[in-house]
Structure 1
């Protein structure tokens, strides 16, 4: 299992619309092969800052399967216009419980 971690900065004043769009887009990611779970956390100190955590069975399930899919194009369409700057996606593997 791998963990995708993404720090997101949503454009000022668009937070509510983003959260609504994310709820809808969650249907897309959760239908993908290799998907395990995801969560979106809102930062308490910085307005518009979010942390997205997605668990995948393998790195390729995200980087190849999801990113090369038609579903990813729809995910981008629904969410990417909210971000400024565009986020950096990182992947992690568990070391300890």
Structure 2
């Protein structure tokens, strides 16, 4: 399992509109092959700051299967207009700790 983590900064005054658009766009990502789950967290200290966490079966499910799909074009159309600056996407894998 791969965790995609994205820190998002939404343009000032667009937070409510963004959250509504994200709810609708969630249908897109959740329909993709290799998708496991996702969540959007709103920062309590910084207005307009969000953390998006998406779990994928493999990194390729995100970077190829989703990012190179027609569905991604619709995702971009619905959400990318809200971001300033444009976010950096990072991928993480779980560290296995013996004995825990």
Shorter-chain TM-score category?
Answer: over 0.9
TM-score where L is the length of structure 1 = 0.99
TM-score by length of 2: 0.96
Uncovered stretches (5+) of structure 1, i.e. residues with no partner: none
SS in 2 for 1:11: coil
Match of 2:25 in 1: 25
Q: Which position in structure 1 is the counterpart of 2:89?
A: 89
Unaligned runs of 5+ in 2: none
Q: How does 1:51-90 map to 2 (within 5 A)?
A: 51-90=51-90
* Corresponding pairs, count: 97
Deviations 1:23-71 (A, max 9, x none): 0000000000000000000000000000000000000000000000000
What RMSD in Å do the two structures reach over aligned CA positions?
0.8
Larger Rg: 1 or 2? 2
